[in-house]
Structure 1
Amino acid sequence: MAELQGIHARRAALRLLDAVLRRGETLDIAFNGATKDVRKFEDKALARAIAAEVLRWMVDLDGLIDSATKKPLPDDAKVRIVLRMMLAQWLRLQTPPHAVVATGLDLLAGGPKRLAHGVFSTLTKREVALPLAPTLPAEVAARWGDRAASIAAGLADPPPLDLTLRDPAETEHWQVQLSGDSLMPGHLRLARGDNIEKLPGFAEGAWWVQDIAASLPARLLGDGEGRHVLDLCAAPGGKTLQLAAQGWKVTALDISKRRLELLKSNLKRTGLAASTVRADALTWEPKHQFDAILLDAPCTATGTARRHPDVLHRIGARQIEEMAELQAALLDRAKGWLKPGGIFVYATCSLEREEGEDQTSAVDLAPLPIGLENLPAGLEPTAEGWLRTDPGMLGEVGGLDGFFIARWGT
């Protein structure tokens, strides 16, 4: 008997959700294993899209499911997870209900197919809908406080594709070639969904994928003019590429062999140069001081929830505390490696104060306030001269990741 069309993608999505919700893995780490039996690029992309939409809208999907059952299904019941997938495909991916039913029920072989079919049919007959913005898990909403509503609005859709150009002077050229928009020189924004490696300019290294918020820390260091910069926790290398393109002599340090290999591959593709060092920044000792240091510190990455909605369900107080301790230790060590007259930039892609604003109090360097001239239109520095971005900002042009960035000098 021939296998149902599209079932491989749905099975992969189910494996992805199990990895995230039961084992606490990230979507990125789980993806290759979950999709190893899926051959087509389109089916791999569909598996991730289904899993991501479930994680993005899970509180609301569960509310719909519970409204159509006599008693709540266990949170980890397979039938609940499959129903979440079915509803996400119908309500978010515009999959016709008959196709949703065919592929969804096949995932419950030997299980409660009748229950799943009944719940889904009830909800389709009611013509239910999701709210304009996803409801955040209660713990997350409490953490983000008065920012929660704005952030949630920015999480409603997956983000567009942002590119950083190797040569900002070619912004208009690549804007035409790739039919993209630009929010500042050296940046392009494309609609999501393309196979990145097949886009013009990829093979020759004219650009790399990087959210516009992630590109701002390196921009704050300006032109290198041959001076030495240390990119701490550098892999997979977007900021290293930026710094090299800006004329810095880059030392790129990271502890991960796999991620450093990716960085080296990106350097080769773009024709840019940097010295790479595999080491633990907490024990490594540099041979000299640096004119600039960029510490894009390891963090909970809650600011990337637009493309990684798994962080809404994996990250809690324990992970935030652990990351904050690591960040404080890295800041304490790295600030001593800066030459007199040097510049230090600290950044995290986290929405948590413990990983951003609260880290600044222990830094005894002179503040170098961030100015409007460093930022795309629509963003403003804080009163302290820091930058705090949230996914709800720049919503009219596609939003951006959540970052905290501060700059100091000696």
Structure 2
Amino acid sequence: MAPKTGKTPGLPPRRAALKMLDAVLRRGDTLEQAGGAANGLPAHSDRALARAIASEVLRWLVDLDALIDSATKEPLPDDAKPRTVLRMMLAQWLRLDTPPHAVVATALPLLTGGPKRLAHGVFATLTRQEAQLPDHPTLPVQVAERWADRAEAIAKGLAVPPPLDLMLKDSGAGPGMEGISLAPGHLRLPRGANVSDLPGYDGGDWWVQDLAATLPARLLGEGKGRRVLDLAAAPGGKTMQLAAAGWDVTALDVHPTRMMRLRENLSRTRLDAHTVIADALEWHPDAPFDAILLDAPCTATGTCRRHPDVIHRIGPRHIAEMADLQRRLLERASGWVKPGGTLVYATCSLEREEGEEVAATCTLTPSPIAASELPAGFQATDAGHVRTDPGMLAEHGGLDGFFVARFTA
């Protein structure tokens, strides 16, 4: 007799992954929001597995669907439960190295009746055919068209989840971990570690921050006690960078929950900043700042290595809405910089509408970024901006996509 659904070993993380995928693909939730489906799993390994299954499905969705369609007489609806379960089955077999018998045992209890028989038959056909995925994910047509000549390089950078990047509080101190350093104060470790278990976590010696995300604060240099405003600051990576570099930091964010996380990060790392919960479109500073870092809210398509949901959730409407908000924030922030002061505008987006096109509206004087200011392997554009994408530094594990521009008041 087959085991009852609730008693099948390994079933809870698969059920959680199914709920996560439904939340992302049907409701348009972010993968982080959808991750609540796994929070009730008691073991860290189960929560990590649920997230890995959902992430790999989203990363390879176009190619998984192509395999499924090759083995069915009639295409399954995109939102059909059997299709989603089959995506999970194939992702586990082809990407997570789960043996086919274990895939079948933990996936079929998610279905009943005809859909169960269909999924079993399709999966059996593809395993007999020794189906394979391409070398790198295929982007949805509309995304490939949007990213144009950068699309193939970006897609190659999505083939595997990213490594773990740490930013060290004291760039001259050894963190006691084996890894590679691609810039001062940076350490890259293999993915898969439980962050809170790493040496130096409790002592606040470092924080997690993608190498590309460290560039905006690096371009402001040493603070020497000068005042800087970190706009849209939470969860605090750039705030901690600036504080560690000697700036007198005011960190502003509109989201109380995210600001709570920023304060927790400051407490753990024993760094200081003035924190303000407010809407930057309504807030007014008491005095101008020596520097402002506006890492503006954006579509976050540049984080697609670690958040592959953005490939499927984000479209022209989201991009236009974010670009409008970014222009308004940049216009306000431009009036809060002291004469001779510096403003850095950044987004973790791969979209020109949220990068170059917004920067072009800034009324301050451009301050071109020089190659000498950047870590090895980075280049400034002809306009003096910085543009990174997941296809860069591929030999070392890639980067998030970022746009950075600098101005002088």
Question: What interval of TM-score do these two structures reach, taking the shorter chain for normalisation?
Answer: over 0.9
Once the 2 structures are TM-superposed, how far is the Cα of residue 298 of structure 1 from its aligned partner?
A: 0.2
In the TM superposition, what are the counterparts of 1:181-192 in structure 2 within 5 Å?
A: 181-192=180-191
Is 2:247 the partner of 1:248? yes
- Structure 2 distance, partners of 1:96, 1:89, is 8
Is 2:91 the partner of 1:88? yes
Tell me how large the CA RMSD over aligned residues is. Answer: 0.9
**Partner residue of 1:26?**
30
Once the 2 structures are TM-superposed, how far is the Cα of residue 371 of structure 1 from its aligned partner?
A: 1.6
**Partner residue of 1:16?**
20
Once the 2 structures are TM-superposed, how far is the Cα of residue 36 of structure 1 from its aligned partner?
A: 3.2
Moved over 2 A (4+): none
- Structure 2 distance, partners of 1:289, 1:224, is 15
Once the 2 structures are TM-superposed, how far is the Cα of residue 111 of structure 1 from its aligned partner?
A: 5.1
**Partner residue of 2:230?**
231
TM-score for both structures, normalised by structure 2? 0.98
In the TM superposition, what are the counterparts of 1:54-73 in structure 2 within 5 Å?
A: 54-73=57-76
Name the amino acid aligned to 1:8.
P
TM-score for both structures, normalised by structure 1? 0.98
Is 2:138 the partner of 1:139? no
Name the amino acid aligned to 1:216.
L
**Partner residue of 1:106?**
109
Once the 2 structures are TM-superposed, how far is the Cα of residue 235 of structure 1 from its aligned partner?
A: 0.3
Once the 2 structures are TM-superposed, how far is the Cα of residue 22 of structure 1 from its aligned partner?
A: 0.7
Q: Quick check: 1:8–1:37 contact (8 Å CA) kept in 2?
A: no
Q: Deviations over 1:8-39 (max 9, x none)?
A: 1100000100110011000111112x013311
In the TM superposition, what are the counterparts of 1:280-295 in structure 2 within 5 Å?
A: 280-295=279-294
Partner of 2:191, secondary structure, is coil
- Structure 1 distance, partners of 2:39, 2:216, is 35
In the TM superposition, what are the counterparts of 1:275-314 in structure 2 within 5 Å?
A: 275-314=274-313
- Structure 1 distance, partners of 2:50, 2:369, is 40
Name the amino acid aligned to 1:185.
P
Once the 2 structures are TM-superposed, how far is the Cα of residue 110 of structure 1 from its aligned partner?
A: 4.3
- Structure 1 distance, partners of 2:33, 2:334, is 32
Q: Deviations over 1:184-211 (max 9, x none)?
A: 1100000011110010000000000000
**Partner residue of 1:265?**
264
Once the 2 structures are TM-superposed, how far is the Cα of residue 372 of structure 1 from its aligned partner?
A: 1.8
Gaps of 5+ in 1: none
- Structure 1 distance, partners of 2:274, 2:207, is 19
Q: What is the aligned-residue identity percentage?
A: 66
Once the 2 structures are TM-superposed, how far is the Cα of residue 355 of structure 1 from its aligned partner?
A: 0.0
Partner of 2:407, secondary structure, is strand
Q: Deviations over 1:209-228 (max 9, x none)?
A: 00000011001000000000
**Partner residue of 1:47?**
50
Once the 2 structures are TM-superposed, how far is the Cα of residue 378 of structure 1 from its aligned partner?
A: 1.2
**Partner residue of 2:206?**
207
Once the 2 structures are TM-superposed, how far is the Cα of residue 361 of structure 1 from its aligned partner?
A: 1.6
Q: Quick check: 2:345–2:359 contact (8 Å CA) kept in 1?
A: no
